[in-house]
């Protein structure tokens, strides 16, 4: 009876030792698992469940990388395509946002989009000669081009008239048409100001009417030359502003001054 009991105790101890040897703790999740349900690595025992999770993470990372690379390739290949709200190559096409990045310093002067402005000094010394106007305007265009300006200075002009009439002296009508041609090259957002004057000879009523007729004569030439009528503002002063100017002869006061604002 004693021998039998001893054998049973030894067998029980062997079973406990065997069970201890067959279980192990995972170094990742710290679970007790069978030693056959994992792999012994240099940094400790890792169970099969943790190994499976690690493989999934690696696979998902690889798939994500492939998707990113594919997206970049598509973006590069289609980056210069033209698109519209209705698809590609449609009406009203616009460039991709990538191609809309423009260096402001590279924007070139475009006379057709420039706004006409007037030099303050030119209203006090308007040009009465066609050749001078052409030369000054050409220089202003060159300056605006060099500066990539959004504005273009159109010098004021002042055709002269014969005494007591609305008849131009020399090439006054041609000067008005040249002014209109310069204005029409712009975006036409500015207003053309037409102001009629006379010398101080004669009565007030006569000179008021004379300056009005001269101003309206100039307006008609502008409209006929293509300047929108709603962009023309006409004023006349007779001889009331005679003392504001200092011309050498009375004939120089018989004028209409054109400017922009």
The pLDDT of residue 180: 97
Which residues lie across from 83 on neighbouring strands?
A: 88, 94
In which band, very low, low, confident or very high, does the pLDDT at 82 lie, cut at 50, 70 and 90? very low
Of residues 139 and 60, more confidently modeled: 139
- Structure letter (DSSP) for residue 233: E
For residue 17, pLDDT over 60 is answered with no
For residue 2, pLDDT over 70 is answered with no
- Nearest-5° angle of CA 236, CA 242, CA 245? 110
Q: What residue spans define the domains of the chain?
A: 16-101, 111-260
For residues 98 and 229, the answer to whether their CB atoms sit within 8 Å is no
- Nearest-5° angle of CA 63, CA 65, CA 70? 95
59-75 per-position pLDDT tens digit: 666 676 666 666 666 56
pTM: 0.59
Helix, strand or coil, per DSSP, at residue 16: helix
- Nearest-5° angle of CA 184, CA 188, CA 191? 110
In which band, very low, low, confident or very high, does the pLDDT at 23 lie, cut at 50, 70 and 90? confident
Joined tokens for residue 220: 């008609």
Spell out the CATH class of 111-260: alpha beta
The pLDDT of residue 30: 74
The pLDDT of residue 170: 87
C-alpha closest to that of 162 among 118, 217, 96:
217
86-120 per-position pLDDT tens digit: 433 444 443 433 333 434 455 578 998 999 998 76
144-189 per-position pLDDT tens digit: 999 999 999 999 999 999 999 999 998 899 999 999 999 999 999 9
């Amino acid at each position: 009876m004693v021998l039998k009991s001893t054998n049973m105790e030894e067998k029980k101890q062997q079973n406990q030792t065997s069970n201890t040897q067959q279980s192990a703790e995972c170094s990742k999740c710290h679970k007790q698992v069978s030693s056959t349900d994992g792999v012994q690595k240099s940094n400790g025992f890792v169970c099969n469940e943790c190994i499976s999770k690690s493989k999934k993470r690696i696979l998902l990372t690889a798939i994500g990388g492939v998707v990113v690379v594919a997206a970049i390739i598509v973006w590069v290949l289609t980056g210069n395509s033209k698109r519209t709200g209705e698809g590609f190559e449609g009406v009203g096409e616009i460039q991709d946002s990538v191609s809309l990045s423009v260096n402001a310093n590279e924007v070139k002067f475009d006379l057709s989009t420039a706004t006409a402005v007037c030099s303050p000094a030119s209203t006090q010394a308007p040009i009465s000669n066609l050749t001078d106007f052409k030369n000054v305007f050409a220089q202003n265009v060159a300056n605006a081009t060099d500066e990539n300006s959004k504005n273009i200075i159109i010098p004021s002009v002042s055709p002269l008239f014969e005494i007591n009439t609305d008849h131009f002296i020399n090439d006054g009508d041609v000067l008005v048409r040249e002014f209109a041609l310069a204005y029409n090259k712009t975006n036409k957002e500015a207003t053309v100001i037409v102001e009629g004057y006379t010398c101080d000879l004669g009565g007030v009523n006569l000179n008021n009417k004379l300056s009005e007729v001269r101003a309206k004569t100039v307006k008609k030439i502008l409209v006929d030359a293509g300047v929108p009528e709603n962009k023309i503002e006409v004023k006349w002063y007779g001889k009331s502003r005679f003392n504001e100017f200092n011309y050498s002869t009375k004939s120089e006061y018989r004028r209409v001054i054109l400017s922009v604002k």
